[in-house]
Amino acid sequence: MSLLVKICGLSTPETLETALEAGADMVGFVFFPPSPRHLSLELGRDLGRQVKRRALKVALTVDADDATLDSIMDALSPDIFQLHGGESVARLRDLKQRFGRPVMKAVPVATAADLAVLPGYAAVADRILFDARAPKDATRPGGLGEPFDWHLLEKLDLKLPYMVSGGLHAENLAEALRVTRASGVDVSSGVESAPGVKDPDMIKAFLRAARATQELSVR
């Protein structure tokens, strides 16, 4: 199985083009005002057009209401919705029915107890994204640049495809994949020079490292 690489929080035509040309499988766009990566609907529309089916477009939202999601659907026409809040299993089911799009549910992880929600989400979601649980005083649930204990996923028996996120960068993604056996990786702050500012060289380095890791795993 090929490794899926998602570059999330893209917000300029230049860095989006870098990610696409470097071979990203998924490109993520954040629609959540507290995030430094938040996009206006107008910019989301422009960036979405730039993708031209070269990668899957992922819309990241946090407990968004139907009106907000309708607007995102109209502007970006995402291939996947990434739900990064406290959305319930019933909410996932409703959104899949409403929009006819796959749903990736982010599950914040700090301890083994955080994995108890998996059976419910796995029955509805198309993919799970494991991310580091944010501190209690954080203003947003992800993109904080901190990894979680990957060993919590070592004995994971999940039939659903899953990705790992949280504090990944070019130097540690191989170890993250070795421990978690994930089929994909998702990076945002790990390819930034400052919060919300993507670095083209770091994007390229992350994708090179991901492909090198993939090649080693199939030998």
Q: What length does the chain have?
A: 219
For residue 171, what are the contacts with CB-CB under 8 A and spacing of at least 6? 209
The 8-class DSSP code of residue 75 comes to H
Q: How far apart are CA 72 and CA 77, in angstroms?
A: 7
Element holding 212 (H helix, E strand): helix 200-218
Q: How far apart are CA 88 and CA 77, in angstroms?
A: 23
Active site residues: 8, 131
